[in-house]
Chains A and B, each alone.
Chain A
Amino acid sequence: SAVISQKPSRDICQRGTSLTIQCQVDSQVTMMFWYRQQPGQSLTLIATANQGSEATYESGFVIDKFPISRPNLTFSTLTVSNMSPEDSSIYLCSFQDRAGNTIYFGEGSWLTVV
């Protein structure tokens, strides 16, 4: 099965700072996705990241707050900018495999903003 890894796995961040989360896949994928899971909540899609184009953001999420890079077909980053305690969440990346019918998730990056 595919391997997808995220870094950092956990971090405690100061209010007002920014943190970049990295997501690495062991195969080339067209689309990658970033989700947020707030404490005690379900997962919500932040954006879709295609290689070579701007990310597509879901309602309620903006590029200035969550800039995304997708420099190649195996890697993506999500930055959480100017963090506040409300940004304390698990951030997960995912992708759909080439066969198109399985969606894999990374282990998540657990951020706490103090």
Chain B
Amino acid sequence: AQSVTQLGSHVSVSEGALVLLRCNYSSSVPPYLFWYVQYPNQGLQLLLKYTTGATLVKGINGFEAEFKKSETSFHLTKPSAHMSDAAEYFCAVSDNGGTSYGKLTFGQGTILTVHP
């Protein structure tokens, strides 16, 4: 079984500051990892994903994440926060080919607040 833990249900940063949203996963097989963003009253938008290959992945809006197998982590970062980054962020894990192929297990979400 897979699981995802997002550390911190709420994160608050100042505009221009570093954004760090933490995600740890548990998976019995090599995982696919995803970050999604949900703006207020909107659906889910894919920020970035890790499947295979380079462990540092870059996504939209200046976000990136690094897959660290030894730490079972996939933390999301952005060097400089913008007011428009205020949203809820979900980390998710998928089996990369086993019985759970295509199904996502989500973390509880982290609400990012950006202060002027």
- Candidates B46, B51, B90, B97; contact of A42 at CB < 8 Å: B90
Contact in complex: A103, B43 (CB < 8 Å):
no
Contact in complex: B49, A102 (CB < 8 Å):
yes
B residues in contact with A102, CB < 8 Å:
46, 49
How many A-B contacts if CB must be within 8 Å?
Answer: 55
B interface bracket (residues with beta carbon within 8 Å of A): 20 to 34
Q: A92-B43, A92-B44 are in contact. Are A103 and B104 (CB under 8 A)?
A: yes
A96 at the binding interface (Cβ < 8 Å):
yes
Contact in complex: B42, A107 (CB < 8 Å):
yes
Given the complex of chains A and B, what is the CA–CA distance between A17 and B98 in angstroms? 38
- By secondary structure, the B interface counts as strand
Residue in chain A with minimal CB distance to B102: A96
Distance between A40 CB and nearest chain B CB, rounded to angstroms: 9
Contact in complex: B43, A104 (CB < 8 Å):
no
Given the complex of chains A and B, what is the CA–CA distance between A103 and B92 in angstroms? 11
Contact in complex: B104, A101 (CB < 8 Å):
no
Count chain A residues whose beta carbon lies closer than 8 angstroms to a beta carbon of B: 24
Using A92-B44, A105-B36 as known contacts, list a sample of 4 further A-B pairs with CB atoms less than 8 Å apart, ordered by residue number in A.
A96-B102, A100-B101, A106-B43, A107-B42
A-B contact pairs, 23 of them (CB 8 A): A31-B101, A33-B104, A42-B108, A42-B109, A43-B90, A43-B92, A43-B104, A43-B106, A45-B104, A92-B44, A94-B104, A96-B101, A96-B102, A100-B97, A100-B102, A101-B49, A102-B49, A103-B34, A104-B46, A105-B36, A106-B43, A107-B43, A110-B41
Residues of B that sit less than 8 Å from A by CB: 32, 34, 36, 41-44, 46, 49, 51, 90, 92, 94, 97, 101-109
